[in-house]
Structure 1
Amino acid sequence: MVKAPYKVVAGTVKGSYYIVKGAYELTAGTTKVVYKIGGFTFKVAKAPIDWAFVHDDIETIDDLPPKDAIRKGRVKNAPYTVKGKKYYPMSVEQARSYEETGTASWYGYETLRHNKECMTANGEVFDPNQMTAAHKYLPLPTHVKVTNLENKRSIIVRVNDRGPFPSDRNPSSGDRIIDLSAGAAKKLGFYKKGLARVKVETIALREEG
């Protein structure tokens, strides 16, 4: 059993970004949305349910087979199991004041190399060129600001997947705090290096319209 090791910091004020109400959510009647936050454009599409997951080691979500959980809309902050370990994501309220400093990596190499069609843990199309990320504990989706502490570059990404998890070849990889898409890693300037020291913090979206 693995629980989110984060505490809510009372009074923490995050940067606010205005967005059209409902613009960033895939509802029952939509399969694609396009929106902008802080100068970054996000293109989100619902994946066909028969596509493979980027992380195929997710065994259950909310005690259901992962794709059943996606069909039922029971993914956002539902507990999930990977290689026998159960992870408990943060509540939406806890996530509002989340910030953490640690190591970031990027993922999806096989998808990028072979142009494979894969889905994220919440059923979205995984596009390695989009500004997206995987996180073990944040609700899906959540938007975060990621700053490369080595070159001070910052971007905003949509967290729509789970990870990074320990691998059999490198168990310490599970200690990384976020897995970015290849496109996000390029924007932050660590694509070739593979790893970077980063600060991750949630941003507040204020809906209008």
Structure 2
Amino acid sequence: MSSAMRLLILGLVGLLLFACTPIKPYPSSTPKQPDFDDIKDSGPEREIDTSHVPDAVPRHEARTMAGNKNPYTVLGKTYYLLEDESSYKERGRASWYGKKFHGRRTSNGEIYDMYAMTAAHKTLPIPSYVRVTNIQNGRSTVVRVNDRGPFHSDRIIDLSYAAAQRLGILNAGTGMVDVEIVLPDDAPPAPLKANATNNVIAGSKLPANTHLQIGAFSSEASAKQFAAQVSGHLTYPVIISRNQTGKPIFRVRVGPITDARDLQQVRLDIKKLNIPEAHVVYE
């Protein structure tokens, strides 16, 4: 057999082998984004000190059907809201939720802020205020309930990142707590009212005196300098608030903000100024 014939036969065999080899598709240039349920919740990339964030201050607030559907069903289980929470007190396990839900809407349409003193509860009317006490170390804080959950049989309340840090349960993820209702001025619970029949989106109106806190300083001069630098870039007023007790702390805040959609826009404006995460305060 001539050399030319051998080369021709080898070439044909190679072509046949190549044809029999399965061709793997090229990977997509756009990686598939994980489903929301598959994303693991966490805190910020680095731990942020929220010790300067004040407790929620109980105040009289109108209650609407936003977040107060009664009864409601989640994961096949039906929950009934407490008809009278004035004597509510419970001991159980608390957990916390953070970055996965940060900036998303809560059950009543507000924007979840993991740096504010808030919580989720399965059956308390929204909004409610409760004092949560870690029974292991005695630490306590007052939080505003504006969300539903946690939907785990062994947990009674889901705290914000800031509240969990205050109680010392961040690293453990959960902790045994006492939860007790706090009523403004020992007044009776606010009655549930139907939503107004106008074009306002349920939950878009924020509580009175809602602010975004963007900084805290031990020096009043530094606080004024910072406020002056950012005020020209924001549409809402920038104010300085000083604590009334303890070591002086001068907090720089934006507001008051009355609408949840405006709150989200102000957040975006603040982010453009390269200011670390602003958090909501209600005072």
Name the residue aligned to 2:88.
98
Name the residue aligned to 2:119.
133
Query: In structure 2, do the counterparts of structure 1 residues 136 and 192 end up closer, same or farther at CA, with 3 Å as the change threshold?
Result: same
Contact 1:77/1:139 (8 A) holds in 2 = no
Match of 2:178 among 199, 204, 207: 199
1:1-209 equivalent positions in 2, closer than 5 A: 40-41=55-56, 73-76=65-68, 78-91=70-83, 94-111=84-101, 117-166=103-152, 174-206=153-185
**What is the TM-score normalised by the length of structure 1?**
0.56
Percent of residue pairs bearing the same amino acid type: 48
Q: CA deviation at 1:192?
A: 1.1
Superposed structure 1 runs of 4+ greater than 2 Å apart: 39-42, 72-78
Of Structure 1 and Structure 2, which has the larger fraction of its residues in strand?
Answer: 1
Question: What SS class does the counterpart of residue 108 from structure 1 fall into?
Answer: coil
Instruction: Quote the Cα distance in structure 2 between the aligned partners of 1:203 and 1:41.
Output: 10
Tell me which of the two structures has the higher relative contact order, counting C-alpha pairs closer than 8 angstroms and 6 or more residues apart.
Answer: 1
Contact 1:77/1:140 (8 A) holds in 2 = no
Contact 1:77/1:138 (8 A) holds in 2 = no
Q: Which runs of 5+ in 1 are unaligned?
A: 1-38, 43-69, 167-173
Query: In structure 2, do the counterparts of structure 1 residues 109 and 73 end up closer, same or farther at CA, with 3 Å as the change threshold?
Result: same
User: Which of the two has higher C-alpha Rg?
Assistant: 2
Of Structure 1 and Structure 2, which has the larger fraction of its residues in helix?
Answer: 2
Q: Which runs of 5+ in 2 are unaligned?
A: 1-53, 58-62, 188-283
**What is the TM-score normalised by the length of structure 2?**
0.42
Name the residue aligned to 2:42.
none
